[in-house]
Amino acid sequence: MISPIVSVSREGSAPGAPSLVDALEGGAVLMFPDLDFPFSPFEERFVERPFADGKAKNVNIRGEAASLRGAAGTPEEQEALRQLLIRYRAFADALIARYLPTYAGKIALAGTSYRPFEVDQRKLSWRRDDTRLHVDAFPSNPIGEKRILRIFRNINPEGQPRLWRVGEDFASMAQKFVPKLPGYSPLSARLLAALKITKARRSEYDHLMLHLHDALKQDMAYQADAPQADVRFAPGQTWVTFSDLVMHGAMGGRYMLEQTAYLRVADQADPERSPQRILARTLGRPLR
Ligand code: SIN
Ligand code: FE
């Protein structure tokens, strides 16, 4: 099954319809066509040219202090961009509270990013090439029993869509790839943590997700032939998905905002639908 795109009106899902959390945990992308996130006249400049130093893939704020990284511009402009990202973080938080109330108080908001560059303009290594179908995994930041929920918004001022591909369901993909992955070594996981190469001990889940991410991106036959669908996210649209579960690739577009959030597997409506539990079922045993 290919991940469905579920359009959600401002009013939310109709009474009696399957809940949004149910769709999301099942691998859907929720797409909100018309939520408001207005820019002030001063902020319009952030979609007229990239306010980025060009060294990193994008500009972001992190942590309690919301310190801005990777930005360019005058101090006044950089502070305005920082405030825009703080406002987007609050917008994402409010979206979760309003449309995914099951998760209220259980979500931890992480990084917020401004992505002003054209997706396929920059020649990246295969591993960083997000045009290839993949599920998200963070090499230096093991996430263990947490899920990655992302809230995206296309802020392109010229009508340019964000072009994505979405792929088949996680379980079908895992059946094809898990048998080919190298085995997990608890010893080398402890070593990576001791050497501070990873911020915490890499669990078997983290190990599998990193190798899945790489194996998927390196398999050009799979990239070309796997079940997949093209998706266009128009300017003004907001979309939400578990990017550790939903196979995706970004094919084009520029100017987007993105919020990353974490949710513990135990705090899902149905933990059995997490990639953690799907991988355990694929292997026929609990993960270490
Ligand atoms: C990704 O998460 O793979 C990239 C999403 C995007 O840039 O649209
Ligand atoms: Fe991704």
What pLDDT sits at residue 63? 86
Task: Give 133 Cα–ligand 2 centroid separation in angstroms.
Answer: 8
- The residue whose C-alpha atom lies closest to atom 8 belonging to ligand 1 is 250
Q: How many Å apart are CA 259 and CA 251, to the nearest integer?
A: 19
Q: Which of 237, 238, 255 is nearest to 44 (CA)?
A: 255
Contacts of 111 (CB under 8 A, 6+ apart): 60, 61, 62, 259, 260
User: Which amino acid appears at position 85 of this protein?
Assistant: L
What pLDDT sits at residue 200? 86
Q: Which of 216, 242, 247, 214 is nearest to 229 (CA)?
A: 247
**Mean pLDDT, the chain, whole residue set:** 95
List, chain by chain if needed, residues with CB within 6 Å of any ligand 1 atom: 115, 130, 136, 162, 243, 248, 250, 256
5-7 vs 29-32, strand pairing mode: parallel
Q: Which of 68, 70, 65, 72 is nearest to 82 (CA)?
A: 68
Tokens standing for 238?
């907001």
Per-residue pLDDT tens for 5-28? 999 999 987 666 779 999 999 999
Per-residue pLDDT tens for 26-62? 999 999 999 999 999 999 999 999 999 988 889 999 8
Task: Give 251 Cα–ligand 1 centroid separation in angstroms.
Answer: 9
Spell out the domains of the chain, with CATH numbers in brackets.
Answer: 5-283 (2.60.120)
Q: How many Å apart are CA 283 and CA 252, to the nearest integer?
A: 35
Per-residue pLDDT tens for 171-214? 999 999 999 999 999 899 999 999 998 888 889 999 999 999 99
Contacts within 8 Å (CB) and 24+ apart, 73-82: 77/45, 77/51, 78/51, 80/42, 80/43, 80/46, 81/46, 81/51, 81/114
Which atom belonging to ligand 1 lies closest to the Cα atom of 162?
8
Task: Give 42 Cα–ligand 2 centroid separation in angstroms.
Answer: 31
Q: Which mutation among 115, 132, 163, 242 tests ligand 1's pocket best, with the greatest number of atoms within 8 A of CB?
A: 115
User: Which region holds residue 66: left if phi is over 0, alpha if psi is between -120 and 50, else beta?
Assistant: left
Cα radius of gyration rounded to whole Å, the chain: 19
For residue 121, name the pLDDT band (cuts at 50, 70, 90). Answer: low
DSSP summary character for residue 286: -
